[in-house]
Amino acid sequence: MSNKVTKIGVLTSGGDSPGMNAAIRAVVRTGLYYGLEVYGIMRGYQGMVDDDIFPMESKSVANIIQRGGTILKTARCKEFYEPEGRKKAYANLKKRGIDGLVIIGGDGSFRGGKKLSEEFDIPSVGIPGTIDRDIVGTDFTIGFDTAVNTAVGAIDKIRDTMDAHDRMFIIEVMGRDAGFIALHSGIATGAEHIIIPERKTDIVEVIKSLQEKEKRKKLVNLIIVAEGDDEFGGAVGVNNIIKQHMPDLDTRICVLGHIQRGGSPTCLDRVVASRMGYNAVECLISGAHNVMIGIKENRINHTPFEKASKLKTRVNEEWMKIVKILAS
Ligand code: ADP
Ligand code: F6P
């Protein structure tokens, strides 16, 4: 392995996700193992611009693997979109001799990393950290498993009261423009309908099926809506349309919100984060850069930032068929 980097910086950027701390821990400890100096950069690119950068040691990451959020904090940084902001950020790295970056974040953060290394001589490796799971080149993004399990736990609780009252619930889950949290949590909780942005929903068909169930006195129905579905205006919009056709139906709405982004990471997220963190440092050392670490078929792979920051993961049509058959 040719050791081209000597000092690396690690940052978490964009929306936080459970398991980011486990990834930071893996990056720091792997870097130290290989004799590198490791610096923590606070609040994503904002800390790079503001010079909020500090040396990390093994004990800096003790007792964090089980904690949600990120000890490095995270932010969305406007200045970094501008060449002036990136120039300032690079100067702060340069003065410490930082010659490699590990960026833990989503596709936007990778676009930022790509811009920086195009303009300045600073190699970057990305780790996909987002609950939305909307990044190509990997079967896992850090935080998704925890987020869907949190959603499933919450929906199970709602189902108890829903069932007791013979009511219908429309639950909105996160995911930005992607429907993976809705799809996975909906299948896992036995939802009757799942509405996601990746697929056009035949709302007439949904209403017909609810009316047909009403005739059979089946009033307990669960509909999961992805927040990114702008066809109807989220859970509230879906509820309004249903009520127009079935005004007497007893329905309730619940928007799960940021609860999905917090909490202790699941075992899967901790393991994925540890593998990716370790491999990100190996990748920087071996000279590869501007790539995102991913896991496909249980193997580590590299996807160029160019691809990871542009393409979105597709929804497998078979999954929608499964929802329909299992809810019938
Ligand atoms: P995520 O990484 O979760 O997709 P964002 O899209 O908000 O989150 O991106 C995180 C940060 O990355 C932004 O606040 C900005 O500082 C930086 N960034 C994103 N896109 C670009 C870009 N095209 N050029 C420069 N910096 C960018
Ligand atoms: O990208 C993660 C995510 O939680 C999305 O699911 C959601 O749309 C967005 O971030 C919310 O962002 P904020 O915390 O800035 O409101």
Q: What is the pLDDT of residues 43-96, one digit of tens each?
A: 999 999 999 999 999 999 999 999 999 999 999 999 999 999 999 999 999 999
- H/E stretch holding 183 reads helix 180-188
Query: Is 225's pLDDT higher than 60?
Result: yes
Nearest atom in ligand 1 to 130's CA: 3
Residues 45 and 124 in one domain: yes
Mean predicted lDDT score pLDDT of the chain: 95
User: Does position 132 have pLDDT exceeding 50, yes or no?
Assistant: yes
Ligand 2 closest atom vs CA 131: 2
- The dihedral built from the CA positions of residue 118, 120, 124 and 128, taken in this order, carries a sign that is negative
Q: Is the pLDDT of residue 3 over 80?
A: no
CATH of the domain at 120: 3.40.50.450
In a domain, 318, yes or no: no
Q: Can you give the pLDDT at residue 2? A: 45
| Closest residue to atom 15 of ligand 1, CA basis | 77
Same domain, 195 and 246: yes
Looking at residue 310, what is its pLDDT?
78
The answer on 108 and 48 residing in a single domain is yes
Is the pLDDT reported for residue 213 higher than 60?
A: yes
Same domain membership, residue 17 and residue 139? yes
- In terms of domains, do 154 and 235 share one? yes
- Write the residue with the smallest CA distance to atom 8 of ligand 2: 176
| CA–CA distances in Å: residue 278 to residues 22, 125, 144, 201, 219 | 11, 11, 19, 42, 50
Residue 134 has pLDDT above 90, yes or no: yes
Q: Is the pLDDT of residue 222 over 60?
A: yes
Domain shared by 88 and 193, yes or no: no
Query: Is 132 close to ligand 2, i.e. is its CB under 6 Å away?
Result: yes
**Whether the CB of 76 sits within 6 Å of ligand 2:** no
How many A from CA of 182 to the centre of ligand 2?
Answer: 14
Q: Is 130 in the pocket of ligand 1 (CB under 6 A)?
A: yes
One domain for residues 201 and 126 = no
- pLDDT score, position 315: 87
The percentage of the chain sitting over the pLDDT mark of 90, rounded to a whole number, equals 90
Q: How confident is the model at residue 4 (pLDDT cuts 50, 70, 90)?
A: confident
| 86, 154: one domain | no
Which ligand lies nearest the alpha carbon of 257? 2
Q: How confident is the model at residue 26 (pLDDT cuts 50, 70, 90)?
A: very high
The answer to whether residue 119 sits within a structural domain is: yes
Concatenated DSSP letters for 99-150?
-EEEEEE-HHHHHHHHHHHHHSS--EEEEEB-TT---TT-S--BTHHHHHHH
Q: Quick check: 1 pLDDT over 50?
A: no
Q: Report yes or no on 125 lying in a domain.
A: yes
Would 89 be classed as within a structural domain? Answer: yes
Total domains in the chain come to 2
pTM of the model: 0.96
Q: Is the CB of 112 under 6 A from ligand 1?
A: yes
- Ligand 1 pocket test, pick from 111, 120, 132, 141 with the greatest ligand atom count within 8 Å of Cβ, gives 111
What pLDDT score does 48 carry?
Answer: 98
Sheet holding 221-226, edge to edge: 193-195, 221-226, 168-173, 251-255
Give the active site residues: 132
What is the per-residue pLDDT for 59? 98
Q: What residue's CA is closest to ligand 1, atom 21?
A: 112
Distances (CA, A) of 53 to 39, 58, 89, 132, 257: 6, 16, 11, 28, 31
Q: Give the pLDDT band (50/70/90) at residue 316.
A: confident
For residue 212, being part of any structural domain is answered with yes
Say whether both 186 and 135 belong to one domain.
no
Give the Å distance between the CA of 255 and the centre of ligand 2: 13
The pLDDT of 138-157, averaged and rounded, is: 98
Any ligand 1 atom below 6 A from CB of 15:
yes
- The CATH number for 204's domain is 3.40.50.460
Residue 220 sits in which domain range?
145-261
Q: Are residues 81 and 167 located together in one domain of the fold?
A: no
For residue 248, is it within any domain? Answer: yes
Please report whether residue 314 resides in a domain.
Answer: no
Q: Would residue 173 count as lying in a domain?
A: yes
Is there a single domain that holds both residue 52 and residue 138? yes
Together in a domain, 161 and 126: no
